Amino acid sequence: MKYHRFMLSVVLLALSAVAFAGSDAPKSDAQKSFDTIKSLAGVWDAKLTLAPPMPGMNDKDTPGQISMRVTSRGNALVHEMYSVGVPDDPTRYDHPLTMLYLDGDRLNLIHYCDAGNRPHMVARTSSDGKTVEFDFVDISGGTQRGHMHHAVFTVIDANHHTEDWTFMMNDKPIHAHFDLHRAN
């Protein structure tokens, strides 16, 4: 009986080691893209340019910050946008949150928008591996106040990347270009 308990313990230990160990199998394009995005974890100073300019916003570059944090044992990335000098009051000011995660061979993005909806996008990669482009799939919540429709992350180097987001308002695109430099 002791022998069977000992063997069961050995088998369970071996299975748990296999479950948490990395696989020698080649990484999928989605995994490579996710690894690229996760390498951007940190706080980034952002200059925002809108095209066309939005009423009530300065048409020059607008400062902001983006925070990116790997979470859930490396299975998700939290991406938060916020303006510099604006109180942290999500009931009055924009503070959108985006989650990125793998689901099989798909890198997914869900944007929790200040417009009150949650667009879902799926990634495709460039041949150079430095650009990850997200295409709209579906949306939860209404689109009366517009919705995020497209996103592109481009890594320039470890301390510099850009993000291009397309917001659809009444079937008209508004392009937001973020030029980001690592703050920490």
Which residues span the domain enclosing 105?
24-182
Residue 108 maps to a domain: yes
pLDDT at 30 over 90: yes
pLDDT band at 23 (very low <50, low <70, confident <90, very high): low
Residue 175 maps to a domain: yes
Mean residue pLDDT across the chain: 86
Residue 10 maps to a domain: no
Output the pLDDT for position 8: 47
- 139-149 tens-digit pLDDT: 999 999 999 99
Structural domain count, the chain: 1
Residue 6 maps to a domain: no
Q: What is the CATH number of the domain that holds 78?
A: 2.40.128.20
Whose tokens are 């924009």? That residue is 94
Ordered DSSP codes for 88-110:
S-TTTS---EEEEEEETTEEEEE
CA distance 48 to 83: 10
